[in-house]
Amino acid sequence: MAAKVLIVAEHDGTKLNPSTAKSVTCARGIQGAEIIVAVFAAKPDAVAAQAAQLAGVTRVLTIENAANEHALAAVLAPQVVAVAKDCTHVLAASTTFGKDLMPRVAALLGTAQISDIMAVESANRFRRPIYAGNAIVTVETDPAATIVGTVRSASFEAAASGGSAPIEKASVNVELPTHTRFVSVSAAKNDRPDLQTASRVVSGGRALGSADGFKILYSLADKLGAAVGASRAAVDAGYAPNELQVGQTGKIIAPELYMAVGISGAIQHLTGIKDARTIVAINKDGEAPIFEVADIGLVGDLFQIVPELERLIG
Amino acid sequence: MKRILVGIKRVVDYNVRVRVKPDGTGVVTDGVKMSINPFDEIALEEALRIKERGGAEEVVIATIGPAECQQQLRTALAMGADRALHVQADGVVEPLVAARALLKLIEREQPFLVIVGKQAIDDDNSQTGPMLAALWNRPQVTFASKVELSDGKARVTREVDAGLETLEVDLPALVTTDLRLNEPRYVKLPDIMKAKKKPLETLPLNTLGVEAKQQLKLVKFEPPAQRQKGIRVKDAGELVEALKKKGLI
Ligand SMILES: Cc1cc2nc3c(=O)[nH]c(=O)nc-3n(C[C@H](O)[C@H](O)[C@H](O)COP(=O)(O)OP(=O)(O)OC[C@H]3O[C@@H](n4cnc5c(N)ncnc54)[C@H](O)[C@@H]3O)c2cc1C
């Protein structure tokens, strides 16, 4: 049977999330796959137009419904199941969006899910990290079952643009629950690059000591055109907001340059940066585990080094 | 009775550096410290706090796994859970199987709230909670960092990639926990003694009418690729030079 992959687009109502382009690349690893991107939204046109440009996409489906204004897993899941009726694979990015939605889809389909796909070995054989990335397991599914998976964005390049897939309206006839209601979202607005897609990231840990202390990293990041990240300890202590957390339970990122400042390098943190091209560590403890993964290590006091770096780069 | 059901999993302790067996058939677990999955501890802590505030009358904990899981159930009872249910199952328990078993327990116990961790730190699947909510046909709020209950409803703040999102759901509902929801209490010695007398019921998986079907074949386990050894620089000036050489600034 020819592979037919449905990718659930992630978006904020106006912009397609870059992780969707990475899921497309993952899907292209499945030989001969027809790739369909489904946009569930209140007004899907703008997002659909962006999805249609991704190279490799065969078709874009729009499922327009006022109930789809906010991404609520309980509302989306039955619609995804309806749209995926004759698909062999259903994929979404392994972001908080995909992690929330896809297991709900898998359960409705009665199928196992493959989380955090990092490599496609065949249409029904994949590799994924477990134990905070300390082991990689190869899993194989029954080829006759619908395969539901989430895609580890850091493992795939974004699909190029330049495509022009047709956009079609789809209607689904399923009853949607009203038991879940969106109230609000608070996202810090800033002009810095997005942590998940930035090519440079400056990240800080507990050593920054306070929210005020953390500001020296923002200032260095601005000089570098970098996004800012944080360890869990820094977020827990309130030095940085939760959306900056990098690691097993935060964001998994793959920048060209990752600077870990005053971060010890716990395994849960390292999981989030394994795919960074160059890791720089600045830490006053020469024995800190972060140095085991650092390409460039500098032992010293960050409160002296960071301002000096800023001056030298500036 | 106003009841909260909490699902917990026995996992390799988060401080253990996990290693792949040389023959690639799994990871080394012999003689390794096992604990309650940290996110599930947070789930239990939240349930206990709700009960202590008068928002629930009973906290029931459940796990699916081999006989050794009873150690973790006892720890959970010592933390303050009232009763434990052990669904006995040997071998791999996939999230969908766990969700099906937990659904049976929901049907039996009729909780108004179910709390589980957002992911287990062994296979990092992050699936059981939403799967259970789907089978139960009830609301889910994943990655919770704040839970507020009022008559028949829950208002839950969740940690999402964009920041913090708040949802309102009708009860009964399922919540999965994120790290910042609370800080679990430590178990005190007298509580460990008391926990020995608390009820712990064992239910073999098949008596619940759930099949232990494994859908994913685990073909092989490998250690992750190692990074190449790096260099040390002695000051900020050398660091800037090194970055320039790599074309990074
Ligand atoms: C289930 C679970 C999930 C987790 N998920 C994550 C996750 O997603 N992300 C994450 O980051 N963590 C996670 N953690 C936490 C993780 O185990 C560590 O506790 C955390 O990463 C430590 O943060 P840190 O490196 O900032 O702090 P610390 O470990 O306290 O390290 C601070 C470092 O700063 C250095 N330092 C101090 N002062 C200075 C100075 N003046 N100049 C230079 N260096 C200095 C110290 O030498 C030390 O190495 C998780 C833990 C658990 C249990």
pLDDT at A314 over 90: no
Q: Is A96 in contact with B142 (Cβ distance < 8 A)?
A: yes
Q: What is the CATH number of the domain that holds A260?
A: 3.40.50.1220
Burial annotation A60-98 (CB, 10 A radius, 16+ → b, else e): bbbbbbeebebbbbbbbbbbbbebbeebbbbbbbbbbbb
**Ligand 1 atom having least distance to the Cα of A285:** 47
Distances (CA, A) of A279 to A205, A257, B233, B242: 15, 6, 13, 12
pLDDT at A273 over 70: yes
B133: its two tokens: 């909510």
In this prediction, residues B134-138 reach a mean pLDDT of 98
In this prediction, residues A42-70 reach a mean pLDDT of 98
CA distance B154 to A232: 27
B98: its two tokens: 């766990």
* pTM over the 0.95 mark: yes
Q: Name chain B contacts of A120, Cβ cutoff 8 Å.
A: none
- Contact (CB, 8 A) for B43 and B115: yes
pLDDT at A251 over 90: yes
**Ligand 1 atom having least distance to the Cα of A204:** 26
Q: Does A256 touch chain B (CB under 8 A)?
A: yes
The reply to whether A109 and A220 lie within a common domain is no
Distances (CA, A) of B18 to B27, B30, B192: 7, 11, 28
CA distance B87 to B103: 12
The reply to whether A54 and A116 lie within a common domain is yes
Q: Is residue A101 part of a domain?
A: yes
The reply to whether A31 and A129 lie within a common domain is yes
Angle between helices B70-79 and B38-52 (to 10 degrees): 30
The reply to whether A74 and A18 lie within a common domain is yes
Out of A107, A115, A177, whose CB is closest to B124? A115
- The number of distinct structural domains making up chain B is 1
Is A77 or A190 the better-scoring residue by pLDDT?
A: A77
Q: Does A144 touch chain B (CB under 8 A)?
A: no
Choose the final residue of a domain: A129, A153, A169: A169
In this prediction, residues A55-76 reach a mean pLDDT of 98
- Contact (CB, 8 A) for A247 and A269: yes
pLDDT of residue A189: 73
pLDDT in tens, B12-27: 999 999 999 999 999 9
Q: Tell me the residues of chain B between 229 and 248 that have a Cβ less than 8 Å away from chain A.
A: 230-240, 242-243, 246, 248
For A32, the 3-state DSSP assignment is coil
The reply to whether A19 and A121 lie within a common domain is yes
The reply to whether A144 and A266 lie within a common domain is no
- Contact (CB, 8 A) for B125 and A136: no
The reply to whether A16 and A155 lie within a common domain is yes
Q: Could you tell me if the ipTM is greater than 0.95?
A: yes
Q: Is residue A208 part of a domain?
A: yes
Q: Name chain B contacts of A313, Cβ cutoff 8 Å.
A: 240, 249
Tell me the shortest Cα–Cα distance from A299 to chain B, in angstroms: 7
A119: its two tokens: 């490599």
The reply to whether A137 and A219 lie within a common domain is no
The reply to whether A161 and A222 lie within a common domain is no
Q: Strand pairing partners for B27?
A: B20
Q: Which of B8, B14, B123 to mutate to test the pocket of ligand 1 (most atoms within 8 A of CB)?
A: B14
In this prediction, residues B85-90 reach a mean pLDDT of 97
Instruction: Tell me the CA–centroid distance for residue B2 and ligand 1, in Å.
Output: 39
The reply to whether A102 and A159 lie within a common domain is yes
Q: What is the CATH number of the domain that holds A90?
A: 3.40.50.620
The reply to whether A133 and A246 lie within a common domain is no
Q: Which of A130, A134, A220, A231 to mutate to test the pocket of ligand 1 (most atoms within 8 A of CB)?
A: A231
Mean pLDDT taken over chain B: 97
Containing structural domain, residue B183? 3-245
**Ligand 1 atom having least distance to the Cα of A247:** 8
The reply to whether A111 and A213 lie within a common domain is no
- Contact (CB, 8 A) for A280 and A290: no
Q: Which of B211, B127, B100 is nearest to A113 (CA)?
A: B127
Residues at CB less than 6 angstroms from ligand 1:
A 205-207, 231-234, 245-250, 262-264, 266, 268-269, 283-285, 288, 301-303; B 14, 38, 121
pLDDT in tens, B43-84: 999 999 999 999 999 999 999 999 999 999 999 999 999 999
Intra-chain end-to-end CA distance of chain B, in Å: 63
Containing structural domain, residue A148? 4-169
Say how many CB pairs under 8 Å bridge A and B: 253
Tell me the shortest Cα–Cα distance from A200 to chain B, in angstroms: 9
- The number of distinct structural domains making up chain A is 2
Q: Does B92 touch chain A (CB under 8 A)?
A: no
Mean pLDDT taken over chain A: 97
**Ligand 1 atom having least distance to the Cα of A246:** 9
- The residue nearest atom 18 of ligand 1, judged by CA position, is A266
A197: its two tokens: 């897609």
pLDDT at B151 over 80: yes
Q: Is residue A189 part of a domain?
A: no
Q: What is the CATH number of the domain that holds B90?
A: 3.40.50.620
Instruction: Tell me the CA–centroid distance for residue A169 and ligand 1, in Å.
Output: 48
Q: Residue B242: closest CA among chain A residues belongs to which residue?
A: A296
pLDDT of residue A1: 67
pLDDT at B177 over 70: yes
Q: Tell me the residues of chain A between 163 and 182 that have a Cβ less than 8 Å away from chain B.
A: 177, 179-182
Q: Is residue A180 part of a domain?
A: no
Q: Is residue A139 part of a domain?
A: yes
pLDDT at B99 over 70: yes
Instruction: Tell me the CA–centroid distance for residue B222 and ligand 1, in Å.
Output: 26
- The residue nearest atom 1 of ligand 1, judged by CA position, is B38
Give just the sign of the alpha carbon dihedral B201, B204, B205, B207: negative
Tell me the shortest Cα–Cα distance from B67 to chain A, in angstroms: 22
Q: Is residue A195 part of a domain?
A: no
Label the pairing between strands B58-65 and B34-36.
unpaired
Residues with Cβ within 8 Å of B193's Cβ and at least 6 positions away in sequence, in order, are none
**Ligand 1 atom having least distance to the Cα of B14:** 53
pLDDT in tens, B193-209: 999 999 999 999 999 99
pLDDT at A74 over 90: yes
pLDDT in tens, A183-226: 999 987 778 899 999 999 999 999 999 999 999 999 999 999 99
pLDDT in tens, A295-306: 999 999 999 999
Q: Is A181 in contact with B167 (Cβ distance < 8 A)?
A: yes
- Contact (CB, 8 A) for A232 and B121: no
CA distance B122 to B218: 14
Instruction: Tell me the CA–centroid distance for residue A299 and ligand 1, in Å.
Output: 16
Q: What is the 3-state secondary structure (H, E, C) of chain B?
A: CCEEEEECCEEECCCCCCCECCCCCCECCCCCCEEECHHHHHHHHHHHHHHHCCCCCEEEEEEEECHHHHHHHHHHHHHCCCEEEEEECCCCCCHHHHHHHHHHHHHHHCCCEEEEECCCCCCCCCCHHHHHHHHHCCCEEEEEEEEEEECCEEEEEEEECCEEEEEEEECCEEEEECHHHCCCCCCCHHHHHHHCCCCEEEEEHHHHCCCCCCCEEEEEEECCCCCCCCEEECCHHHHHHHHHHCCCC
Choose the final residue of a domain: A126, A153, A169: A169
pLDDT in tens, B181-191: 999 999 999 99
Which residue is listed with tokens 């403890």? A285
